[in-house]
Structure 1
Amino acid sequence: MSSILLLGGSKQQVVAIEAAKRLGYRTVLCDYLPDNPGQYVADVFYQQSTTDKQKMLEIAQLEGVSGVLAYSSDPAATTAAYVAERLGLPTNPLKSVEVLSEKHLFRKYLAGHGFPCPKSVPVAVGASADEVLGVLLGEEMSFPVVIKPTDSSGSKGVSIIDAPDIEKFARALKTAAGFSRNEVLILEEYIEYGFPRVIGGDVFVVDGEVR
């Protein structure tokens, strides 16, 4: 029986574990939370952080998996690509996944390829409010602005600031830093809605075609 490593066992991710089992895979689950529901569905469970790339690689090697999946998890997407590349398993390229997963790299990519995007500047964790405000003014960015971690998801650590208030900037930087793993934050202009809703979607690409 082929094994698959699944990164994350939250309620939303249980469907992936169940689907893998229906397809005949032995399921190996990793999740750092001790109360995740996926552990009761998977065949094997490790209480380990899915953002720890080296640990996930060790588990994948130990279990002899044939695939790695980070279903419904942005933070674990780079881990899945890293482990799969190291083991020669099917994956999207790690470099591409990193660009799509880390906001400062994605903004740089958009700007470099002529896509419409807000003005943005990467900011190191530890930068002072005065320094960040100086960057904002130097880049002639318009208020409101957003400060957020570049490698988090689900709007964690995000603050919107509508005036050059040093105390607000200091609080926003501290909040964002608390959710940052790579120690890179981003300062960018806030885009206000010009219509009543956002339309988005997900696609699955096979051999360069949307299926």
Structure 2
Amino acid sequence: MIVAMTKVLLVLPSTSYRNGAFVLAASHLNLDITIVTNADTPSILPPNRVYRVKDWKIDDATFKELDKLRLDAVVAVDEASVVLATELSQRLGLPTNPIDAVEATLNKELLRSRLSKHEIPQPRYIEIQGHQHPEEIAKTLADAHIRYPIVVKPTSETQSRGVSRANSYSELLQAIEIASSVTHKDNLLIEEYIDGSEHALEGVLVDSELVTLAIFDKPEPLVGPYFEESIYITPSNLPDKVITEAKRVVQRSCRSLGLWTGPIHAEFRVTSEGQLFLIEIAARSIGGSCSKALAFEPRITLEEILVSQATLGDSHKTLQATQKRSYSGVLMLPTPKSGILLSVGNLKAAEATRFVTSIEITATVGSVVKAPPFSERYMGFVFAVSPGYSTTLAALRRARDIIEIEIDDLEL
């Protein structure tokens, strides 16, 4: 008897660091793979299994071809493709989150509004228009009882692009100018600054129930004026009581939004008094190449867990996945200034650092790189694993000190 292979459609953004990881995961699971992508580069799959789209729109002819494949699941690889993957799943009659729930996670003001209706602990906020008179904005802040320091954000950018802290009225004007310069939308978000440690929760929803796969600490304080990501370490050093509260808040947030299946990435802050504030939540897994810092028993990757749950209905694999008994961390290499990248040096010496397992440089020599708050891409990633939290952290910091990044002083 011939058993038909399970069929998965992977929606791959051209800008994702993780396309290969998802294709490899699907291959390991022995799935029949089809790809939708906005990339023009060659694919490892035969041309008849790759559908190229523009502006993330599927024309009727392409949809008819996809419909004929009788797919079992559609999997978004990164945030850029999550809306299209959700729309395709709905049109194909496959299980997926409501489109409005997914769209709410992609708009910071809409997210705050939806969560506030369910009393989710989060920063106080207001929405403004970039062209509003500054004195009118200052009055709106006062009426909302939001005091300095504050954080100004575009509503739809990622990777902390355009996000900055303001400690005064003059800095507020500068922060509004920065946020407005990186977005085509006029509306901006202003939030109270939450003074505390920052953390990330990685999980997956199985029939509306949150399964927490990992909690990351961000051991280097993100205090501004810009918020460039630096180091993630897991497992977390947070007290069990706080971890339990984080899981509870993220679960409540998912239900408030209407999310019930698939990956969840949430970020939160914890004050010195132990109070927790949700900063963001997304219907996707961790970005960049950070998923490589996660390793689960029995010898499975995060991508395999997500593809398995989506295609095979394998909640057992999700529920049984446990992190390996070690401290794993990832360093996102900083971009010290904007310009033309000339070189990234001393990599062999950095790789020789005890407990460093690998280094991945993702920026191309000769390309334009942008420093915070205008960063669009990560410079690269350093990974480390050790038996201790402090030794993993020290290894990542040591590697960062060794690596030399040379950038031409080009005015952008």
The verdict on a shared fold, with TM-score over 0.5 as the criterion, is yes
In the alignment, the residues of structure 2 paired with residue 117 and residue 59 of structure 1 have an alpha-carbon distance, to the nearest angstrom, of 44
CA contact (8 A) 1:120 1:186 kept: yes
Q: Residue 200 of structure 1 corresponds to which residue in structure 2? A: 200
Residue by residue over 1:51-80, the C-alpha shift from the partner in whole angstroms, topping out at 9 and shown as x without a partner, is: x4xx14658515406343222x23432332
2:66 aligned partner: 64
Contact 1:57 1:83 in 2 (8 A): no
2:193 corresponds to: 190
1:71-150 correspondence runs (5 A): 71=77, 73-150=78-155
Match runs of 1:167-186 below 5 Å: 168-180=171-183, 183-186=186-189
The match for 1:164 is 169
| Whole-angstrom distance in 1 between the partners of 2:115 and 2:18 | 30
Question: What TM-score do the two structures reach when normalised by structure 1?
Answer: 0.76
Indicate if the aligned counterparts of 2:8 and 2:74 stay in contact, CA closer than 8 A. Answer: no
1:142 deviates by 1.1
State the TM-score, normalizing by the size of structure 2. Answer: 0.42
Decide which of 31, 36, 45 is 2:38's aligned counterpart.
31
- C-alpha contact (below 8 Å) 1:8/1:31 kept by paired residues: yes
The residue number in structure 2 matching 1:46 is: 52
- The alpha carbon displacement at 1:95 in A equals 1.7
Cα distance change, pair 41–145 in 1 and its aligned pair in 2 (3 A) = farther
Q: Quick one: percent identity of the two aligned structures?
A: 26
User: Given residue 61 of structure 1, which amino acid in structure 2 is its aligned partner?
Assistant: F
Distance in 2 of aligned mates of 1:56 and 1:181: 24
After superposition, what is the alpha-carbon deviation per residue over 1:80-114, rounded to whole angstroms, capped at 9, x for unaligned?
22332233222111122122232112212232212
> 8 Å contact 1:5–1:60 — kept in the other structure?
no
SS of aligned partner of 1:141: coil
Higher helix share: 1
Q: Which of residues 6, 22, 26 in structure 2 aligns to 1:20?
A: 26
Q: Does the CA-based 8 Å contact 1:129-1:173 persist in structure 2? A: no
Once the two structures are TM-superposed, the CA of residue 164 in structure 1 deviates from its matched residue by: 0.8
Q: For the residues of structure 2 that align with 1:204 and 1:189, how far apart are their CA atoms?
A: 29
Structure 1 residues 89, 81: closer, same or farther in 2, change over 3 A?
Answer: same
For residues 150 and 61 of structure 2, the distance between their equivalents in structure 1, rounded to whole angstroms, comes to 41
**C-alpha RMSD of matched pairs (Å):** 2.9
Deviates more, 1:141-150 or 1:59-68: 59-68
Q: Which amino acid aligns with 2:63?
A: Q
2:86 partner SS: helix
Deviation at 1:138, TM superposition (A): 2.6
Q: Secondary structure at the match of 2:19?
A: helix
Q: 1:170 to 1:164 in 2, by over 3 A?
A: closer
- Partner SS, residue 123 of structure 1: strand
Q: What are structure 2's unaligned runs of at least 5 residues? A: 212-318, 320-412
Alpha-carbon contact 1:148-1:176 (below 8 Å) kept: yes
Change (3 A) 1:91 1:180: farther
Aligned partner of residue 188 in structure 2, secondary structure = strand
What amino acid sits opposite 2:145 in the alignment?
E
Q: How many residues are treated as equivalent by the alignment?
A: 197
What secondary structure, in the 3-state scheme, does the structure 2 residue paired with 1:89 have? coil
